[in-house]
């Protein structure tokens, strides 16, 4: 029950919106580092970059947890599992690179400056993040991982968490089974 709440409901998984928050925070932080390294509002960019990247690091904890729970549900020995494993490892590397960016920028935050090498480390971290995001997108948009698929349903089924059941696998093909709402709503 708790795992289901953490993972989210079929058609409404928790991991994707958390990735949006994490990726957004990291990207804003790196953009501030780059702009600050060019001398534009350097003190404000130095402060904002550290806060944004720090926020991304904080949100990366529930993002990684929900991603790990999703990864554990992917059938072993499948192409999806292989890509998901590479995605997981790439995102861990990206998180480590953002942690390095954060630590190397602490003096810049204190001094209100952005060192060029910190912006470069941030850009490398962003590149790793982009590669990991591409792999995650492949899982969703190519393989349909945690996607219920196109279906006709009522607004109630579509909008209420738990209104549908997780898809099953038959001969490697995705199959969607409606769940009875059982008068819960």
Confidence band of 63 (pLDDT split at 50, 70, 90): very high
User: Does 183 share its domain with 134?
Assistant: no
User: Does 42 share its domain with 78?
Assistant: yes
What pLDDT digit, counting tens, does each position of 73-127 carry? 999 999 999 999 999 999 999 999 999 999 999 999 999 999 999 999 999 999 9
User: Does 27 share its domain with 52?
Assistant: yes
Q: Which residue has the higher pLDDT, 7 or 131?
A: 131
User: Does 98 share its domain with 176?
Assistant: no
The whole domain housing 179 covers: 152-185
User: Does 80 share its domain with 32?
Assistant: yes
Say if residues 168 and 177 touch (Cβ distance below 8 Å): yes
3-state secondary structure of 170: strand
User: Does 35 share its domain with 61?
Assistant: yes
| pLDDT of 179 | 43
Mean pLDDT of 163-173: 48
User: Does 162 share its domain with 87?
Assistant: no
Could you tell me what percent of the chain has a pLDDT over 70? 84
| pLDDT of 66 | 96
User: Does 104 share its domain with 179?
Assistant: no
Count the domains in the chain: 2
Q: How much is the mean pLDDT over the chain?
A: 87
In CATH, what number is assigned to the domain containing residue 116? 1.20.120
Nearest to 12 by CA among 68, 56, 70: 70
The pTM (predicted TM-score) of the whole model is 0.81
* Residue 132, pLDDT above cutoff 50: yes
Q: What's the token pair of residue 143?
A: 């393989």
User: Does 14 share its domain with 64?
Assistant: yes
| pLDDT of 155 | 74
* Residue 37, pLDDT above cutoff 90: yes
User: Does 71 share its domain with 138?
Assistant: yes
* Residue 182, pLDDT above cutoff 60: no
How many other CB atoms are found less than 10 A from the CB of residue 107? 12
* Residue listed under structure tokens 């003096």: 107
User: Does 105 share its domain with 142?
Assistant: yes
User: Does 86 share its domain with 102?
Assistant: yes
Nearest to 52 by CA among 19, 23, 29: 29
Nearest to 114 by CA among 97, 127, 101: 101
């Amino acid at each position: 029950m708790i795992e289901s709440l953490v993972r989210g409901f079929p058609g409404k998984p928790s991991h994707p919106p958390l990735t949006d928050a994490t990726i957004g925070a990291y990207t804003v932080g790196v953009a501030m580092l780059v702009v600050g390294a060019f001398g534009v509002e350097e003190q404000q960019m130095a402060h904002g970059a550290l806060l944004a990247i720090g926020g991304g690091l904080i949100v990366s904890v529930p993002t990684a947890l929900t991603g790990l729970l999703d990864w554990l549900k992917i059938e072993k020995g499948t192409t999806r599992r292989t890509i998901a494993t590479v995605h997981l490892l790439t995102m861990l590397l990206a998180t480590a690179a953002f942690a390095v960016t954060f630590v190397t920028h602490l003096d810049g935050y204190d001094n209100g400056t952005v060192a060029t090498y910190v912006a470069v480390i941030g850009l490398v971290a962003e590149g790793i993040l982009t590669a990991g995001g591409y792999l995650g997108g492949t899982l969703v948009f190519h393989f349909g991982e945690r996607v219920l698929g196109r279906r006709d349903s009522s607004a109630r089924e579509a909008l209420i968490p738990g209104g549908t059941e997780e898809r099953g696998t038959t001969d490697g093909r995705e199959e969607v089974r409606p769940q009875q709402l059982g008068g819960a709503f």
